[in-house]
Amino acid sequence: MDNARIDRIIDKHQGEASSLIQVLLEIQSENHWLPKEALERVSEKLQVPLTRIRHIATFYKTFSLIPKGRHEIHVCTGSSCHVRGATRLLDTVQDLIGIRPGETSSDLRFSLETGNCLGCCALGPEIVVDGKHHSKIAPDNVEDVLKDYD
């Protein structure tokens, strides 16, 4: 991500230090992660110490300091989904995309995460891809869901 794009995001928020989290969210949304150079630029432009920015970026799970895939897959592994087959679902996802939870595919297409609850317990097992919920999904249907994400 180039400095001009980072500057536009910062300018959109009038360069206010109080907009730090929103600025980081926008950079993360566009870039899929927060590179060191971007954090340094934000620190310089907002006049916020880099240590404070790194603390925020590592505290909130939504931020990543390592490259993430263009598409984020979250598989619910909470109790309700677990009893409905989340383990088989997760195994299928892992087999199809070739990565484990917490990893990103080498082509930067997918990142895989698990979570204890995605908020739709009655609809499990469930996966969420780029914020879109796929409920009551069977392992046999995972390939059909993922083929739409290039």
For residue 62, give every residue at least 6 positions away whose Cβ sits within 8 Å of its Cβ, in sequence order, or none: 25, 28
Q: Does domain 71-146 have CATH number 3.40.50.970?
A: no
**Per-residue pLDDT tens digits for 59-77:** 998 899 999 999 999 999 9
pLDDT at 124: 86
Q: Where are the domains of the chain?
A: 3-59, 71-146
pLDDT attached to residue 105: 94
The confidence score (pLDDT) of residue 89 equals 95
97 Cβ neighbours under 8 A, 6+ residues apart:
73, 105, 109, 110, 112, 146
Q: Tell me which residue has tokens 């300018």.
A: 11
Residue range 78-89: mean pLDDT, rounded: 92
What mean pLDDT comes out for the span 90-101? 96
Q: Specify whether the CB–CB gap between 96 and 71 falls below 8 A.
A: no
